Amino acid sequence: MLRIAILPEDLPTIQRDRYYHPQPHIMMRMHVLALHHEGESAAKIARLLHRDPKTIRGCLEKYQSGGLKAVYEYKKHKRESELEAHSELIEKELEKRPPQSAKEAGAIIEELTGIKRSPTQIREFLKKKGIRCLKTGSIPSKADPALQKEFLENTMEPVISAAQQGEVELYYVDGAHFVLGAFLGYLWSKVRVFIPTPSGRKRYNVLGAYHAIRGTMVTVTNTTYINSLSVVELLGKLSLLHPDRAIKVVLDNAAYQRCFLVQAYARLLGIELIFLPSYSPNLNLIERFWKFLKKKCLYNQYYSDFETFCAAIDDCLANGNEQYASELKTLMTLNFQSFENVQFLAV
């Protein structure tokens, strides 16, 4: 009959973990050791715990040979998937042809290997390989990554550094156009949720200037069009806010922003305009704020009339920096997306 001695210093751990360990198999093993210490034989412990005697003896032998450390070890046997033998081939093919669903991935894998698996098994295999379902991103087809990199390094980095040291007031400017209607997003729900959408095409235009350091917003709004006069009005507001400060404004190449009137007025006010390279929305910090604003006050929201719709946008513009401070702190950093090393969809 197998008899082993339980070390006195192990008893407190055994007594605790036989009832409170998070893993059921470890709790069972601690019960075996505790009962054996109390004088029960392996055969009787097997009957009490409704386990095979071999399992009980194996637990006692583990303790005898390696102490509690050996008892805590647990290696669950898991059969290796047949797909593992073809993993390199599968990964290369899915990199060339990213699938839109687990079902489509399964069809590609079956075509390559002749092995058919359910969508659930395919998802599990892909996750093991670090392949996740990610939303595709867009980039203007005419964007020049090399030119963007040069602009960031040679033009913007010195300006950003000066702004961080308090030497200049740096703003990012852009216009957004919000059309009254249903902005549909995702919700966790048992059933699909429907949102009423008002009729008509009323549009609320916002020309905004986002302060790169403080996160404050200066705006010009209307319900008609944003034009060069709107930009002139915005520059005037910035000048009044910082009468004795150097102001630099980053903006895109929209015709109403590059026109003679705007550039002449900026020179008159002593404001430096910094125009982004063409097709570079990823370098305009305020673009992130527009997306954030839609998420917070427009997506999955119903506004019964245009006035309420505009008021919700104005409230987010005025109070968003304080209300969502922690989220904006991580979102509105002066780090910009580079398209030098991204994967493009094969066409």
Q: pLDDT by residue (tens digit) across 84-123?
A: 999 999 999 999 999 999 999 999 999 999 999 999 999 9
The two tokens of residue 25 are: 């198999």
Span of 27-31, 97-101, 213-217, 336-340 with lowest mean pLDDT: 336-340
Percent of the chain having pLDDT more than 70? Answer: 96
Q: Residue 75: its pLDDT value, please?
A: 66
Residue 112 sits in the same domain as residue 154? no
pLDDT surpassing 90 at residue 177: yes
Question: What is the residue-averaged pLDDT of the chain?
Answer: 92
pLDDT surpassing 80 at residue 345: no
Q: pLDDT by residue (tens digit) across 249-267?
A: 999 999 999 999 999 999 9
Mean pLDDT of 60-78: 84
CB 318 within 8 A of CB 289: no
In a domain, 205, yes or no: yes
pLDDT surpassing 70 at residue 79: no
33 vs 30: CA distance, rounded Å:
5
pLDDT surpassing 70 at residue 269: yes
In a domain, 344, yes or no: no
CATH of the domain at 234: 3.30.420.10
Q: Residue 347: its pLDDT value, please?
A: 54
Domain that holds residue 244: 145-331
In sequence order, which residues have a C-beta less than 8 Å from that of residue 113 and are 6 or more positions away? 83, 86, 89, 90
Residue 28 sits in the same domain as residue 175? no
CATH of the domain at 64: 1.10.10
Tell if the pTM clears 0.85, that is, is over it: no
Q: How many domains does the chain have?
A: 3
Residue 110 sits in the same domain as residue 173? no
Residue 63 sits in the same domain as residue 115? no
96 vs 90: CA distance, rounded Å:
10
Task: Tell me the backbone φ, ψ of residue 179, rounded to 5 degrees.
Answer: -95, 130
